[in-house]
Structure 1
Amino acid sequence: MPVPPTDDAASDGPVIVVGAGPAGLMAAEQLAAHGLPAALYDAMPSPGRKFLMAGRGGLNLTHSEPFQHFLSRYGEAAASLAPMLEAFPPEALRAWAHDLGIETFVGSSGRVFPIGLKASPLLRAWLARLGRSGVGLRPRQRWIGFGPDGTHRFLDADGRHHLVRASAAVLALGGASWARLGADGAWAATFPVQDLAPFRPANCGFRIAWPDGFADRHAGTPLKNIALSIGDRRVRGEAVVSAYGIEGGAVYALGAAPHRALAQDGTVTFALDLKPDLSVADLAARLARPRRGASLASFLRKAANLPPIAAALLRACRPEVLDEAPEGWPERCANTLKALPLVAHGTAPIDRAISTAGGLRWAAVDEDLQLAGRPGVFVAGEMLDWEAPTGGYLLQACFATGRWAGEAAARYLAGVG
């Protein structure tokens, strides 16, 4: 039941958890396993809002690839996250879901999903188990910073401030995307600037200046069975042409590479391969067939099984290739279709990003994820400065860091108790 706010500092037991996403729920579960049921605070009316949103795409819980390859997906944060992911690896997450009555399966891409491809059954079972363990939910309570003498400041739905005192706390306040689901990054204003890496969108689309009329006709068109490259980084998958540019799994799987290029050069060029299963020579041979007056879109479809968007992209990005008069057009067109340059000049707004990079620097926490200078305060999840592509890596790290922080908080309380 919700706890009524008070103007005075109130004790809420030995430990509180702030944030009812995957990291916070996992921290609460770990604490409850040690006989320390937490009071679980969240700014939203109900828990797991962003988790449920992730379930709309099938709830990609984790990935089945070999662990060292899995770990490498976290880039510069891999070394910091390694102990937590080793303590709670993908197979442990699958076993945990099984214990909740949720069976999982490995898809053709190696991604791991619940059998029902939904988040709601898992979340319901999880919340029920937490409730039986004594974890109490405090909804509509927004954490707004640290109070005096180890207290925490909260703002309730009626605009009233109150303080909560606890011997230990786990903060799992999220990143800075999907503000309507509770993760707006506002918490960062309460931390020293030197402890923060600026938020930026991750797993997001990129803005491309399409020619006039292109987006009106083609926004929402899928790009299936393609490859995208930046330098020597190449991924296979799918993407979507959007009104502002390009988005989708193949874009996100490139990880931090396009963001680094954008920060360094002000633009980033994606090389789009529309026929990754054909060599340039094979594609050129198909394009050397007689056109017999067919439109470009029709010819590309019949000769090379390319969708109509291929001709539209050629016109938008390499119109000079449409000149068939000079010698060698099939080869030039094939080379272009195998590395069509998509020049992006920015990212989609941060609130449209699936996840964010930035947040609390690793130097601001110790190996237990305890905040420097704040004994008994631990952090977890996306509020830490790490990023990973979609594919199960995001949720896995949230679960693992939440479990790690919850375990560390339990050890802390045992040491001071």
Structure 2
Amino acid sequence: MSNEPTSPTRSVTIIGAGPAGLIAAETLAKAGLAVSVHDRMPSVGRKLLMAGRGGLNLTHSEPLEAFLNRYGAASERLRPLIEAFPPSALRDWAEGLGQPTFVGSSGRVFPTSLKASPLLRAWLRRLDELGVRFVLRDDWQGFDADRNPMFRHADGTTGTVEADATLLALGGASWPRLGSNGAFSDILWERGVDVTPLRPANVGFRVAWSEIFRSRFAGHPLKTLAIRFGETTLRGEAMITAYGLEGGVVYALSAPLRDAIARDGAATVQFDLAPGRKADELAARIAAQKPSQSLSNRLRKAAHLSPVAINLLREGAGGPMLPAEAEALAALIKAVPIRLTGTEGLERAISTAGGVAWSGIDENMMLKGLPGVFVAGEMIDWEAPTGGYLLQASFATGIAAARGIFARLGIAEG
């Protein structure tokens, strides 16, 4: 029997029980580390469950190079992280939890169940088997002088947790009622960490609809359209809301639209309500309709426009009267100007832009000014459209941070 002393188990404190924190906990626990996950909410994975309400979009099946380009300015920093844990690896991981996936018609990847709850339950069972400990209703308050995280506990008391490494996976500031409220910004700024302002991403935009349009069409979808802003044209769907516009094709342009509104006070987009047809073809079809018919019937038959699309034409034209000439009417259908006057707030955004600047994070996902403290997930300054890109980067950064912790502690990955 050996008399050599046994090396103590190394420990890691993870703050934030979303996808980035949970995948890091799994990765670290598999290597035998003692992992505790702290969260201010009474249950874990709340934003993941919210994302699964309409079908959990885990990732996307498009070629990796096109996939990486979705991250804009952050694509080069995210590239090695996502290449190390690409969409195929995320699908294999879900399969390993007994949650097979499929590719939808748009290329998006979903669990076969189309729900987040079965996946989360299976994941929590695995984490329990690995010995991961959860401490809920534990609100992170910052660090003590030795960089140990401090918490306000559920009973109102405060305390400090000592560990060999700490991982912050606190999310952004969207949907704060689900837990991620952006409070980390001030805490880290005071410790010398460069944090860029948090801004809404994948968010709806305000439009000054007429009262009659708002009351009749709020909640109605706009299908089969294209939206143009600057040099970019995208096809998809949008939704009319009482405050303005939301939906996938709007979210995909939210970053340039948000920045243009911040700079200029407003931004005008153009909606093509018949993206599969040319203007001269539309004009000919409109002119061929019987003039005795109502304008709405002529537009419905000639351009296949729905009532909401026909009335959107009137909003873009600035009043109920539309051009009488077929050519002018066709031109309007192909380029309906809609003026966006503002964004909805962080509390209604799907995700967040801004956060911990990449310049303050080393190659191992550790904060340069706080040795032993690592970051992952949406709290870092990156953004992407909906379509699976948000979850993919959250998982990839969580795994990268776990591997960074291995490197710091001199431990081989399990």
**Could you tell me the TM-score, scaled by structure 2's length?**
0.94
Contact preservation (8 Å) 1:228, 1:235: yes
One-letter amino acid of the counterpart of residue 182, structure 1: G
Give 1:358-397 correspondences, 5 Å limit: 358-397=354-393
CA shift for structure 1 position 303? 2.2
Q: Distance between the aligned counterparts of 2:411 and 2:307, measured in 1? A: 66
**8 Å contact from structure 2 (residues 314, 322) kept in 1:** no
Aligned residue number for residue 302 of structure 1: 301
Q: Give distance in 2, aligned partners of 1:136 and 1:278.
A: 58
How is 1:334-353 mapped onto 2 (pairs within 5 angstroms)? 334-353=330-349
The whole-number CA distance in structure 2 between the counterparts of 1:305 and 1:25 is 48
Which residue does the alignment assign to 2:223?
A: 224
Amino acid at match of 1:231: G
Residues in 2 aligned to 1:404 and 1:158: alpha-carbon distance in whole angstroms: 34
Q: 2:107 aligns with which of 107, 110, 116?
A: 110
**Residue deviations 1:24-57 (CA, integer Å, cap 9, x gap):** 0011011012111310111111110000000012
> Aligned-pair distance for 1:86?
0.7
Q: Does 1:55 align with 2:52?
A: yes
Aligned to 1:75: 72
Alignment correspondent of 2:6: none
Structure 2 matches for 1:139-158, cutoff 5 A?
139-158=136-155
Q: CA deviation at 1:324?
A: 4.5
CA contact (8 A) 1:381 1:402 kept: yes
CA–CA distance in 2 between the matches of 1:196 and 1:46?
Answer: 28
Match of 2:328 in 1: 332
The answer to whether the Cα contact below 8 Å between 2:224 and 2:237 also exists between their aligned partners in 1 is yes
The answer as to whether partners of 2:222 and 2:309 remain within 8 angstroms in 1 is: no
Match of 2:116 in 1: 119
Q: Which moved more, 1:239-248 or 1:34-43?
A: 34-43
Given the alignment of the two structures, is residue 86 of structure 1 paired with residue 78 of structure 2, yes or no? no
Shift of 1:255: 4.8
Paired with 1:361 and 1:402, the residues of 2 have a C-alpha distance of 16
CA displacement at 1:292 relative to structure 2: 3.8
Query: 2:30 — aligned with what?
Result: 33
Cα deviation for residue 291 of structure 1 reads 4.3
CA distance in 1, matches of 2:216, 2:254: 29
Can you give the 5+ residue segments of structure 2 that lack an aligned partner in the other structure? 1-8
- The equivalent of 1:317 in structure 2 is 316
Per-residue deviation, residues 163-214 of structure 1 (Å, max 9, x unmatched): 1111101110000110110011011110127611101100000111112232
Asked if the contact 1:196/1:358 (under 8 Å) is kept, the reply is yes
Q: Which moved more, 1:335-344 or 1:287-296?
A: 287-296
Which moves more between the two structures, 280-289 or 219-228? 280-289
- AA of the residue aligned to 1:229: R
**Which residue is 1:8 aligned to?**
none
User: For the structure 1 residues 115 and 181, does the alpha-carbon distance in structure 2 shift closer, same or farther, using more than 3 Å as the test?
Assistant: same
The alignment covers a number of residue pairs equal to 403
What is the identity percentage for the equivalent residue pairs of Structure 1 and Structure 2? 54
SS at match of 2:62: coil
Q: Does 1:239 align with 2:238?
A: yes
Q: In the alignment, does 2:200 pair up with 1:180?
A: no
Q: Is the 8 A contact 1:314 1:322 kept in 2?
A: no
Displacement of 1:259 = 2.0
Which stretch of structure 1 is more off in the superposition, 387-396 or 186-195? 186-195
Q: Which moved more, 1:256-265 or 1:364-373?
A: 256-265
Among 39, 42, 52, which residue is 1:42 paired with? 39
User: Which aligned pairs between 1:3-18 and structure 2 lie closer than 5 A?
Assistant: 14-18=11-15
Provide the rounded CA distance (Å) in 2 between the counterparts of 1:254 and 1:350. 16
Does residue 159 (structure 1) correspond to residue 166 (structure 2)? The answer is: no
CA deviation digits over 1:377-402, x for unaligned, max 9?
A: 10000000000000000000000000
Instruction: Check the 8 A contact 1:60/1:391 in 2, yes or no.
Output: yes
- Segment drifting more, 211-220 vs 401-410: 211-220
- Asked if the contact 1:321/1:333 (under 8 Å) is kept, the reply is no
Pair 1:258–1:15, CA change in 2 (3 A): same
1:274 aligns with 2:243: no
| Higher mean C-alpha deviation, range 271-280 or range 184-193 | 184-193
Structure 1 counterpart SS, 2:166: strand
Flag as ranges the 4+ runs of structure 1 deviating above 4 A. none
Output the amino acid matched with 2:265. Answer: G
Instruction: Name the aligned partner's letter for residue 362 of structure 1.
Output: W
Give the Cα separation in 2 of the matches to 1:201 and 1:184: 12
Deviations 1:351-405 (A, max 9, x none): 1000010000001110111011211110000000000000000000000000110
Unaligned runs of 5+ in 1: 1-11
Native 8 Å contact 1:174 1:383 kept in 2: yes
CA distance in 2, matches of 1:118, 1:401: 23
Cα distance, 1:85–1:255 mapped onto 2, change above 3 Å: farther
How far apart, CA to CA, are the structure 1 residues paired with 2:126 and 2:237? 38
Supply the distance in 2 between the matched residues of 1:324 and 1:90 (Cα, whole angstroms): 49
Q: Distance in 2 between matches of 1:16 and 1:323?
A: 63
Q: Distance in 2 between matches of 1:399 and 1:146?
A: 25
CA distance in 1, matches of 2:322, 2:228: 26
1:77-120 CA distances to partner (integer Å, 9 max, x unpaired)?
Answer: 00111110010000111111111111111111111111111111
Is 2:394 aligned against 1:413? no
